[in-house]
Structure 1
Amino acid sequence: MKIDDIARIAEVSKSAVSLALNGKPGVSQETRERILKIAEKHKYNPRPSSKIQNNKQSKIFRFVACTHTGIITEQYQSQSFFMELINNIDQSFTSKGYSLIISSINVDSLEQEISNLEKQQSSSGILMLGTNLTEEQIKSVAKLQPNLVVLDTCFETLDINFIVMNNVLGAYQAGEYLIELGHKKIGYVESSSRMYNFDMRKKGFQKVMSENNLMIQPEHTFQMSPTDVSVQEAFKQSILNLKGNLATALFCECDYMAISVIKTLNELNINVPEDISVIGFDNIAESQIISPELTTIHVKKDKISSLAVEKLIREIDHNEDDKMKIFVDTELIIRKSCCSPNEK
């Protein structure tokens, strides 16, 4: 039994396993107990640590996720998108010989908690999950640790590094695909919690609709939670109220919403894609488990992770001062949840 095996079973990163096994802060109590139980069950015996540390191993980087923002909950590591992102970051740092500490922080005390963590164990730099954070919150972190790369959001006017998926392109690709299939009566499922990513996706989708002289009708615009994967009663009632005036396709701002849409439509005996095509965004693992398999927009989380790690290391090792805003292009993944309206 190795740390890799424990991380796989517990569905967390290797860094989270290391923190839990060594009694260090940075993981929730629930996660710590789960890891310790797995280690005990499989009789994990850690290798004796070497007393010799090279310069790389002595450098510690911190990954910070801010919880209670409407999108990032305390259980964020169990969500496919963030789990995959963190694992990619962890692997990127490990492959380069550096250590990574994962810290979850309540957004209401962001500045104070970052300050306390840095006093307890100073880091060489911070990778921060900026989902739903404000400009002021991000600026406050940059004052405490200038070696900062922010993921999953972007503020162009801040002199801070941002790396994010190209949301505008991704939503444009989704709309373009639906239009190419022949859909004209297209609906939009948006998140009840707003953030940069969702706003940019809306911008991209509206752009492709406008370019094709199409409009999203108000009655075909729906709201739902971006994190609950279940039958959505409000959406269900909205569909019933349409009394047959259904859109032929729906774009959903994330895969969790797309999966909830499919579950809800199934309960109403509305078939996907025969009655309504559904397309999502993110390409999470669950998108291939739902039936029918979800057509979606692939976010290159591995590329985002490697670029973020490389940028942070360049700032530390090579004193690179230039700040960057990097947009990583997306890719359309065609599966089985969309078809031409003429195929009904």
Structure 2
Amino acid sequence: MAKEKVTIQDIADALGISRNTASKALNGSGSIPSETRNKVIKKAIELKYKQFAYMESENLITKNPGNIALLTANMPSNSHFGSRLISGLEKRISAEGYNLSIHIVRDIERSALQLPNNFEASKVDGIICIELFDMEYSKLITSLGLPTIFIDCAADMSYPTLQADLLLMENEHSTYDVTKTLIASGCGSLGFIGDYNHCKSFNERWAGFNRALAEAGIRLDAGQCILNPDREFSSESDWMEKRLGQIKELPDAFVCANDFIAVNVMKALKNRNVAVPDDIAVAGFDNAPESRIVEPHLTTVHIYSDEMGIAAANMLLSRIKEPSQPYQVTHIQTTPILRESTGATV
């Protein structure tokens, strides 16, 4: 009599675990510990379950979990972009058997060019850097000789100097498109708000803004821009309002380096009885949740955060497998979203 087909329940019963756990292990779920997954796969091979019937255990069992270190200057929870990106990143690397550990680089460590106390290079297979915009500190990390990817980097970083893979959202062209749309709608004077030396992304947005102005024959008036160091933007609750008060004549539109800045600009303008968009148009970048809550809703640029996390993981995994391949500089598409803050009807 022919033997009945082996089922997932047979595997679960043989190991004394639930059918759900066995199923997740066979499907490569990142929520299942590597040790459990290995036991399930071994038993599937032993019982000749479906696609495992002709496989050898040594070719299938995963190695001990590897370790990927994420180094960042800010807690991921402080940024909607960072937390969503890390979620996509963690799912991808866990599917390959890697654990993710997060290490916060404090200002004192960055200034002293010291690695975080809980970071041990000998126990790390690869490094991901987020919001680390100091060139010298970046060089310290790459000097470790470990596979490394930066998600954004210092504004003045030249790519050959970095000696690591770099992933950026597409910044310049989307900002160019938003600025060009504002000009086409009748804006004859435009100001930029944000520290274009803060990071490469801000620098590229500044470049896109200026390119649109240059093509339209509009002269940049620095007196209508707010380009202070980034740390000053959150120094005092009324800082933006005071800074706007120093501009003799407001432009027709402000293009801001991100939504956080844009929302603060809109609040400060409202406090000064300047109406958006009737008196002045305002645009941001990030498509943060606040951009859909603030009134009027904010024109912005959407970032594909989850996809960036997956792309970063794929780049790093590729670097771990082939350390000698040429370094990559990759931009992930972004999409302008026109809303009421620039006069668009939604």
> In structure 2, which of residues 169, 172, 178 is the aligned counterpart of residue 168 of structure 1?
172
Which residue of structure 2 lines up, in the alignment, with residue 82 of structure 1? Answer: 82
What is the CA–CA distance in structure 1 between the aligned matches of 2:279 and 2:337, rounded to whole Å? 21
Alpha-carbon distance, 1:145 to partner: 4.1
Which residue of structure 2 lines up, in the alignment, with residue 237 of structure 1? Answer: 242
1:169-208 alignment to 2 at 5 Å? 169-191=173-195, 194-208=198-212
Which residue of structure 2 lines up, in the alignment, with residue 149 of structure 1? Answer: 149
Which residue of structure 2 lines up, in the alignment, with residue 129 of structure 1? Answer: 130
Q: Is the 8 A contact 1:224 1:232 kept in 2?
A: no
SS at match of 1:247: coil
Which residue of structure 2 lines up, in the alignment, with residue 39 of structure 1? Answer: none
Q: Is the 8 A contact 2:103 2:118 kept in 1?
A: no
Q: Is the 8 A contact 1:114 1:141 kept in 2?
A: no
User: Which of 1 and 2 has greater Rg?
Assistant: 2
What is the CA–CA distance in structure 2 between the aligned matches of 1:174 and 1:150, rounded to whole Å? 27
What is the CA–CA distance in structure 2 between the aligned matches of 1:48 and 1:234, rounded to whole Å? 49
What is the CA–CA distance in structure 2 between the aligned matches of 1:279 and 1:202, rounded to whole Å? 13
What is the CA–CA distance in structure 2 between the aligned matches of 1:176 and 1:125, rounded to whole Å? 41
Q: Is the 8 A contact 2:192 2:256 kept in 1?
A: yes
Q: Does 1:62 align with 2:89?
A: no
> Counterpart of 1:157 in structure 2: which amino acid?
P
> Counterpart of 2:158 in structure 1: which amino acid?
F
Alpha-carbon distance, 1:259 to partner: 0.5
What is the CA–CA distance in structure 1 between the aligned matches of 2:190 and 2:279, rounded to whole Å? 12
- Pick which of 88-97 and 260-269 moved more: 88-97
What is the CA–CA distance in structure 1 between the aligned matches of 2:117 and 2:224, rounded to whole Å? 46
SS at match of 2:218: coil
> In structure 2, which of residues 259, 277, 283 is the aligned counterpart of residue 279 of structure 1?
283
Q: Is the 8 A contact 1:60 1:124 kept in 2?
A: yes
> In structure 1, which of residues 310, 315, 330 is the aligned counterpart of residue 314 of structure 2?
310
Q: Is the 8 A contact 2:65 2:97 kept in 1?
A: no
What is the CA–CA distance in structure 2 between the aligned matches of 1:309 and 1:231, rounded to whole Å? 37
SS at match of 2:160: coil
Alpha-carbon distance, 1:155 to partner: 3.2
**Identity rate, percent:** 23
Question: Structure 1 328/240 Cα, relative in aligned 2: closer, same or farther at 3 Å?
Answer: same
What is the CA–CA distance in structure 2 between the aligned matches of 1:251 and 1:143, rounded to whole Å? 37
Q: How many residues in Structure 1 have an aligned counterpart in Structure 2?
A: 286
Question: Structure 1 206/62 Cα, relative in aligned 2: closer, same or farther at 3 Å?
Answer: same
1:190-237 C-alpha deviation (Å, 9 max, x unpaired) = 238733222222122111101110023233112467576799534323
Alpha-carbon distance, 1:171 to partner: 2.1
> Counterpart of 2:128 in structure 1: which amino acid?
L
What is the CA–CA distance in structure 2 between the aligned matches of 1:181 and 1:279, rounded to whole Å? 13
1:13-70 C-alpha deviation (Å, 9 max, x unpaired) = xxxxxxxxxxxxxxxxxxxxxxxxxxxxxxxxx99995665525611211110x2xxx
Which residue of structure 1 lines up, in the alignment, with residue 42 of structure 2? Answer: none
Which residue of structure 2 lines up, in the alignment, with residue 266 of structure 1? Answer: 270
- What is the Cα-based RMSD across aligned positions, in Å? 3.1
Which residue of structure 1 lines up, in the alignment, with residue 120 of structure 2? Answer: 118
> Counterpart of 1:236 in structure 2: which amino acid?
E
Question: Structure 1 290/57 Cα, relative in aligned 2: closer, same or farther at 3 Å?
Answer: farther
Q: Is the 8 A contact 2:34 2:97 kept in 1?
A: no
Question: Structure 1 285/229 Cα, relative in aligned 2: closer, same or farther at 3 Å?
Answer: farther
Alpha-carbon distance, 1:149 to partner: 0.7
> Counterpart of 1:206 in structure 2: which amino acid?
N
Q: Is the 8 A contact 2:151 2:167 kept in 1?
A: yes
Alpha-carbon distance, 1:269 to partner: 2.0
> Counterpart of 1:169 in structure 2: which amino acid?
H
- Pick which of 99-108 and 291-300 moved more: 99-108
What is the CA–CA distance in structure 2 between the aligned matches of 1:241 and 1:104, rounded to whole Å? 37
> Counterpart of 2:242 in structure 1: which amino acid?
Q
Structure 1, unmatched stretches of 5+, are 1-45
What is the CA–CA distance in structure 2 between the aligned matches of 1:307 and 1:270, rounded to whole Å? 42
Question: Structure 1 282/237 Cα, relative in aligned 2: closer, same or farther at 3 Å?
Answer: same
> Counterpart of 1:235 in structure 2: which amino acid?
M
SS at match of 1:206: helix
What is the CA–CA distance in structure 1 between the aligned matches of 2:291 and 2:32, rounded to whole Å? 38
What is the CA–CA distance in structure 1 between the aligned matches of 2:208 and 2:93, rounded to whole Å? 33
TM-score scaled by length of structure 1? 0.73
Q: Is the 8 A contact 2:175 2:208 kept in 1?
A: yes
What is the CA–CA distance in structure 2 between the aligned matches of 1:314 and 1:255, rounded to whole Å? 33
